[in-house]
Chains A and B, each alone.
Chain A
Amino acid sequence: MTGLFPILLAVLALALLGYWIGRQRGLAMRRGLTIRIGTVHSLPVYHGLYVALTALLPAVLVLAGWAIVEERLVADRVIAAVPVDFRPVSEIDRGAFMNDVRGLANNALEAAFNPAATAVVPLYRATSEAFDLAAGVVAMTLLAVGGIWAFSRLRPDFRARSHVEKLLRWLLILASTVAILTTFGIVLSLLFESWRFFQIVPAAEFLFGTHWSPQTAIRSDQIGSSGAFGAVPLFWGTIFIGAIIAMIVAVPLGLMAAIYLTQYADARVRRVLKPMLELLAGVPTVVYGFFAALIVAPAVRDFGVWLGISNASGESALAAGLVMGIMIIPFVSSMTDDALMAVPAEMRDGSYAMGATRAETVTRVLVPAALPGITGGVLLAVSRAIGETMIVVMAAGLAAKLTINPFDSVTTVSAQIVALLTGDQEFDSAKTLSAFALGLVLFIITLLLNIYALSVVRNYREAYE
C-alpha cells in the first residue's frame, strides 16, 4: 500500500500539468478572438479544471480501489507459496502470518514468530512491487486517455464550466455521504462483531447475568475457560458513576452557576467567569483522570477510612464520579443557560412586577418554566458521562462489583472496553468480541438518551415560540 503513494503523487502532478495545458488552451482561445461576451463560453480556469478533473478522477478511483484489494491479493499469493505443512489455515492465523511478513518486509520486526514467514519475505516484496507497478500502469493509462480526450473537446463554445460544476456537485454529495457511511460503519461493525459474540455467549446471559470475569484460560481444556460474561455489574457501575454520583455533583453546581451567570452577574463578571467554565470544559479527560488518580482517589480513601469504612479502596466510584461531575459542570451550565434564556421575558417581568425577589422569580417562575429544557440538558449530560472513558479507567478500577458503597471500586462499560481491547488480543476470542457487544449497548443507550433529550428540548422551545 505504501508503494501506491508515489504513484498517487505522480498522478496528482500530471493532473496539475493537465490543468496548466487546458488553461493555456483557454487563454489562447481568448487571445485569438476580439473579446466579446459570448464568444468563449467558459473562463480559461474552467478549461484547465475540466482537463485536470477528467484525467484525475478515473485514475484516483482505480488507485483507491486497488489499495483496498491489494493486500488481500498479495496475501493469497504469498500464502500459496508457503510449504503446505507451515501454511496458515484459519483467517486469524493468516492475519498473524501476514503481519509477520509485513513487519519483516518493512524492517519493523527483527524476527518473526513463524519461521516460514522469513522465507516468503522476498516473494512478498516482489509481488507487492509487481502489483503496484500494474496499478501504476493502469492509472497512468486512464490518466492519459482521460486527459487527451478532455483536451480534444476544448473549443470556444464548449461548456467547460457546466461540466466542471456538475463534477463538483457530485464531489459535494460524496462529502456529505461520509457522515452516513460513518454511521453505517459504526452500526454494522458493532452489530457484526456482537452477533459473533452472541453466538458464543447467549444474549440473555450477557444482558442479565450478574457475574463478569472475561479472563479466558490459556489452555482450552481448562475448567471455566469460557469466562463469565454477565454484564449487569458493568451497567450498574456505569449508572452509579455517570448517572448518579456525577450528576449529584454536576446538576446543583451547574444549575446554580448558570442561574448566577444569567440572572445576577453583570457583563464584567460574566466576561471573567464564562471563559473559566470554557477552560474547565477544554481540559482533556486524561488530565482529569490523572488528577483523580493522583489526588482525589487517595483523599477519598482516607476520608472513607476516617468514616470507619473498612474496605475503602484506593480506586473508588466516588473519586471517579466526583471528578466526572466537575468535568460535566460546564455542559450542564450551558444547557441550563439556553433553557433559561428561552423563557419569555414577560414571565420574568411579570414576576418582578408582583414584587417577587430575584430568587423567588428564579425558583418559582423561571426554573419551573424551563424545567423541560433543563431536564433535556441533564439527560444529554448523563449520556456524555456514561460514555466517558479515561477518568473511569484511571480512577475507578476494573473490579466488576454490584455495590452501592461509593468507597468501593466499581467498573464501567467504557473502562471494560479499553481493558478488553488493550494488551494481547486474538480476534476471535469471546473476550475480545465482548468489547463490541458492550460498545453496542453503550451506543444504543447514548443514542436513545440523545434522541429523547433533544426531542424534549425541541418541544420545550417550540412551546414558547
Chain B
Amino acid sequence: MTATSAPRRAPTNWTAPAMQARVAVRYRRERLFRLAGLGALCLAGLFLAFLLFTIVRTGWSGFRHSEVAVSVVFDAQALGIDPAVARGPGGVEAIRRADFNALMQRSAAAQLGPAADVVSEGAWLDLRAAVLADRGVLGQTRTLWVPVRSNIDLLAKGKFDENEAEVTRGVSNEDIADYHYLEARGLIRTDFNEIFVSAANSTDPELAGIWGAALGSLLTLLVTIGAAFPVGVLAAVWLEEFAGRSRWTDFVEVSISNLAAVPSIIFGLLGLAVFLNFFNMPRSAPIVGGLTLALMTLPVIVITARAAIRAVPGSVRDAALGIGASPFQVVVHHVLPLALPGIMTGTIIGMARALGETAPLLLIGMRAFVADAPKGLTSSATVLPVQIFLWSDDAQRGFVEKTSAAIMVLLVILLLMSSVAIYLRNRFENRA
C-alpha cells in the first residue's frame, strides 16, 4: 500500500484563521446561491403580479360606463307607430321599423343644449328596448339614462389629462366643454356597463361588448369537447387495454407525441387547407374553429387519459375477468369509471388551453368583424381571445379598457376551469 509509505499529512486545523475565512466564503456563496434561486422565483412572481395588476387597473373601468339623462317623449305619431298595432301580434315588427334614431336626436337636442352630440350613436337602441319591454310608454314621457360617446365616457372616468395640449391629448376642447356642461348640471353618471356584458362587437367602443365573443367561445368549445373527448378516450382505451405492441401502435404513439409538440399555428394552416379549402366549410364558423382546436387538444386528452387508465390497479381488471366479465365489460364497467376523474382533469386542462388559443383561429377567419352574437355552429363568430386581439389592435382609445376587461373575464373563466381540474386531481390522488 502506498498510503503507509507516503508522508503523513497534518490534519486540517479548522480553527485556524485561514480555514475559518475559507469556510466563511463558502457559506457566503451558499447564501448567495440560495438567494439567487429565491430571487428567480420572486422575479417570476413579481412579473405575474405586475401583469395582473396592470390588467385589473386598466380593465376594471371597462365594466362601468357613463350615461346621460335624457327625457324622451314617446310620441307614437312622430315615431309612426299605431299604438293599437304595437300591442297586436305584428307589434314587434312595427316597433323595429320606427325611427327611434330621429327621436333620440330630437330629444337630445332639446334637452342637452350645446352638449347634444355627447349621446352615443347607438343610444336610440335603449329607446327601442324601452318600448319593446313595455308598450305602455308610447304616448308618455320618460327620463332615460342613455350611453355617451367613448371620449365623454373616458373623460368622466378621468382617463384624459385635461391640461395637455389639444393635439396630443386625444380629445377635443368641445368634448371637454360638453362634459363639464353636463357634469355641472348633474346630467351624467357612471354605473355598471350592461352593454359590455350583453352586446357583441361594435366599431364604437361604448357599444362593444363581449357577449358575442363569449357565446362564440362556448359554441367553439362545445364542438371541441364533442369531437376531442370521445375520440381521445376511445383512442386511449385502445392503446392501453386492447392494442398489443405492434408497428401500428408504435406509429400511433409517435404520431400522438409529435402532434403534442406541433406549434398551434400549424393546426390553423391544417384547418384552412382541409376544412375550408377542401371541404368547403363556412369561414369564421364555430364548427371549423372547434374541429381545428379538437385536433390540437386531442393529444393532450389521449396522453392524460392513458395515464389515468394505467393508474387503475391491475387487480381490479383481474377480479372482473375472474368472475366472467368480457374484456369490454371490464373496461366499461370498471376501468373507465375509476379513471374518469383523471380523464376529466386532462380534458379540462386541454379545454382551458383551447379556450385561450388565438393563432389557429385567426387563420380560419375568426377575426372577422361580427356585430351580432352567433346564432349557430355555422354562422360567423369570434371567440374571446381573438376579440381581445382585435380590440388591442384598434387605435381608438376607448378599446384599451375593453381589452383589459375582456382579459379579466377570460382569466376568471380559465381560473375556474383549472380550479375544477385541481379539485378533481386531488380527489383522484386521494383515492388511488
Q: Contact residues of A with B, CB < 8 Å? A: 1-2, 68, 71-72, 95, 98, 102, 108, 161, 165, 168-169, 171-180, 182-183, 185-186, 189-190, 192-193, 252-257, 259-261, 263-264, 273, 276-280, 282-291, 293-295, 326, 329-330, 357-360, 362-363, 380, 383-384, 386-390, 393-394, 414, 417-418, 421-422, 427, 435-436, 439, 442-443, 446-447, 450-451, 454
Sorted from nearest, which 7 A-B pairs have the closest CB atoms?
A: A387-B263, A260-B37, A284-B356, A175-B234, A359-B33, A189-B273, A256-B40
A192–B255 Cα gap in the complex (Å)? 20
Partner among A165, A286, A360, A422 whose Cβ is within 8 Å of the Cβ of B385: A286
Q: Which residues of chain B from 237 to 274 have a CB within 8 Å of any chain A CB?
A: 237-239, 242-243, 249, 251-252, 255-259, 261-270, 272-274
A178–B355 Cα gap in the complex (Å)? 22
Closest-CB distance, B393 to chain A (whole angstroms): 8
A443–B389 Cα gap in the complex (Å)? 24
* B272-286 contact mask (Cβ, 8 Å, vs A): 1 or 0: 111001011110000
Closest-CB distance, A361 to chain B (whole angstroms): 10
A293–B56 Cα gap in the complex (Å)? 16
Contact check, B328 vs A108: say whether CB atoms are below 8 A apart.
no
Chain A residues whose CB sits within 8 angstroms of the CB of B235 once the complex forms:
172, 175-176, 178-179
Partner among A71, A256, A278, A387 whose Cβ is within 8 Å of the Cβ of B265: A387
Contact check, A186 vs B262: say whether CB atoms are below 8 A apart.
yes
Partner among A180, A287, A427 whose Cβ is within 8 Å of the Cβ of B251: A180
Q: Which residues of chain B from 388 to 424 have a CB within 8 Å of any chain A CB?
A: 388-389, 392-393, 400, 403-404, 407, 410-411, 414, 418
Chain B residues whose CB sits within 8 angstroms of the CB of A442 once the complex forms:
263, 265-266
A68-B279, A171-B234 known; A182-B380 Cβ under 8 A: no
Contact check, B54 vs A414: say whether CB atoms are below 8 A apart.
no
Closest-CB distance, B265 to chain A (whole angstroms): 5
Contact check, A172 vs B262: say whether CB atoms are below 8 A apart.
no
B352 interface residue per 8 A CB criterion = yes
A425–B273 Cα gap in the complex (Å)? 13
A363–B277 Cα gap in the complex (Å)? 54
15 A-B contacts, Cβ less than 8 Å apart? A68-B279, A176-B238, A179-B255, A186-B270, A190-B266, A192-B273, A253-B44, A276-B44, A282-B356, A287-B356, A359-B29, A387-B264, A418-B359, A439-B269, A447-B261
Chain B residues whose CB sits within 8 angstroms of the CB of A273 once the complex forms:
41, 45
Contact check, A387 vs B34: say whether CB atoms are below 8 A apart.
no
Dominant secondary structure of chain B at its interface with chain A: helix
Contact check, A282 vs B265: say whether CB atoms are below 8 A apart.
no
Q: Which residue of B lies closest to A432 (CB)?
A: B272
Other A-B pairs, 13, CB within 8 Å; known A176-B249, A179-B302, A450-B258: A165-B326, A186-B267, A190-B273, A264-B37, A264-B38, A287-B410, A287-B411, A294-B400, A362-B33, A387-B264, A389-B264, A390-B358, A414-B359
Contact check, B378 vs A185: say whether CB atoms are below 8 A apart.
no
B231 interface residue per 8 A CB criterion = yes
Contact check, A422 vs B326: say whether CB atoms are below 8 A apart.
no
Closest-CB distance, B268 to chain A (whole angstroms): 8
Contact check, B238 vs A175: say whether CB atoms are below 8 A apart.
yes
Closest-CB distance, B183 to chain A (whole angstroms): 29
B55 interface residue per 8 A CB criterion = yes
B298 interface residue per 8 A CB criterion = yes
Q: Contact residues of B with A, CB < 8 Å? A: 26-27, 29-30, 32-34, 36-41, 43-45, 47-48, 51, 54-55, 58, 230-232, 234-235, 237-239, 242-243, 249, 251-252, 255-259, 261-270, 272-274, 277, 279-282, 295, 298-299, 302, 326-328, 352, 355-359, 362-363, 367, 378-380, 385-386, 388-389, 392-393, 400, 403-404, 407, 410-411, 414, 418
Partner among B51, B270, B411 whose Cβ is within 8 Å of the Cβ of A189: B270
Chain B residues whose CB sits within 8 angstroms of the CB of A261 once the complex forms:
37, 41
Contact check, A394 vs B389: say whether CB atoms are below 8 A apart.
yes
Chain B residues whose CB sits within 8 angstroms of the CB of A256 once the complex forms:
36-37, 39-41
A161-B326, A260-B41, A442-B265 known; A418-B414 Cβ under 8 A: no
A279-B48, A357-B29, A422-B363 known; A446-B234 Cβ under 8 A: no
Contact check, B352 vs A418: say whether CB atoms are below 8 A apart.
no
Closest-CB distance, B179 to chain A (whole angstroms): 25
Contact check, A422 vs B362: say whether CB atoms are below 8 A apart.
yes
Closest-CB distance, A316 to chain B (whole angstroms): 17
A178-B298, A179-B256, A362-B33 known; A284-B362 Cβ under 8 A: no
A256-B39, A289-B392 known; A182-B259 Cβ under 8 A: yes
Partner among B40, B237, B238 whose Cβ is within 8 Å of the Cβ of A252: B40
Chain A residues whose CB sits within 8 angstroms of the CB of B55 once the complex forms:
287, 291
Partner among B43, B269, B388 whose Cβ is within 8 Å of the Cβ of A290: B388
A1–B275 Cα gap in the complex (Å)? 13
Q: Which residue of B lies closest to A330 (CB)?
A: B44
Partner among B30, B363, B403 whose Cβ is within 8 Å of the Cβ of A421: B363
Chain B residues whose CB sits within 8 angstroms of the CB of A173 once the complex forms:
238
Q: Which residue of B lies closest to A435 (CB)?
A: B269
Q: Which residue of B lies closest to A450 (CB)?
A: B261
Partner among B51, B238, B277, B418 whose Cβ is within 8 Å of the Cβ of A291: B51
A161–B327 Cα gap in the complex (Å)? 11
Chain A residues whose CB sits within 8 angstroms of the CB of B30 once the complex forms:
357-360
Contact check, A443 vs B328: say whether CB atoms are below 8 A apart.
no
Chain A residues whose CB sits within 8 angstroms of the CB of B51 once the complex forms:
283, 287-288, 291
Closest-CB distance, A289 to chain B (whole angstroms): 7
A285–B295 Cα gap in the complex (Å)? 19
Contact check, B258 vs A183: say whether CB atoms are below 8 A apart.
yes
Contact check, A439 vs B266: say whether CB atoms are below 8 A apart.
yes
Closest-CB distance, A160 to chain B (whole angstroms): 12
A178-B298, A179-B302, A435-B269 known; A280-B44 Cβ under 8 A: yes
Closest-CB distance, A454 to chain B (whole angstroms): 8
A172-B237, A180-B251 known; A186-B266 Cβ under 8 A: yes
Contact check, B40 vs A253: say whether CB atoms are below 8 A apart.
yes
Contact check, A180 vs B40: say whether CB atoms are below 8 A apart.
no
Contact check, B269 vs A282: say whether CB atoms are below 8 A apart.
no
Q: Which residue of A lies closest to B407 (CB)?
A: A287
Q: Which residue of B lies closest to A189 (CB)?
A: B273
Closest-CB distance, A25 to chain B (whole angstroms): 21
Contact check, B403 vs A290: say whether CB atoms are below 8 A apart.
yes
Chain B residues whose CB sits within 8 angstroms of the CB of A68 once the complex forms:
279
Contact check, A414 vs B238: say whether CB atoms are below 8 A apart.
no
Chain B residues whose CB sits within 8 angstroms of the CB of A439 once the complex forms:
265-266, 269
Q: Which residue of B lies closest to A421 (CB)?
A: B363
